[in-house]
């Protein structure tokens, strides 16, 4: 996947028997290993 797609990430990870953060750690953790807060909607300015 080229961009975030939570549902797709979950489907793929489930088929592989793991969590999406194991496959795409940079989407779930920052460079210090802290969890990244993910929102369902992008805020418009």
The larger pLDDT score, comparing residue 4 to residue 29, is at 29
Number of domains in the chain: 1
Q: How confident is the model at residue 42 (pLDDT cuts 50, 70, 90)?
A: low
Backbone angles phi, psi at 19, to 5 degrees: -95, 145
Q: Report, in angstroms and rounded to the nearest whole number, the Rg of the chain calculated over CA atoms.
A: 12
Rounded Cα distance, 15 and 11, in Å: 6
Q: Does 43 map to a domain?
A: no
Q: Does 41 map to a domain?
A: no
Would you state the structure tokens that stand for residue 45, as one six-digit string? 């300015």
Rounded Cα distance, 36 and 16, in Å: 23
Q: Does 42 map to a domain?
A: no
**How high is the pLDDT of residue 43?**
63
CATH number of the domain residue 31 falls in: 1.10.260.40
Q: List beta partners, residue 35.
A: 29
The larger pLDDT score, comparing residue 25 to residue 37, is at 25
* pTM, entire model: 0.67
Q: Does 44 map to a domain?
A: no
């Amino acid at each position: 996947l080229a961009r975030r797609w939570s549902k797709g990430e979950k489907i793929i990870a489930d088929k592989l028997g793991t969590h999406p953060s194991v496959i795409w750690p940079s989407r779930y953790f920052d460079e210090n290993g802290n969890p990244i807060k993910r929102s369902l909607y992008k805020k418009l300015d």
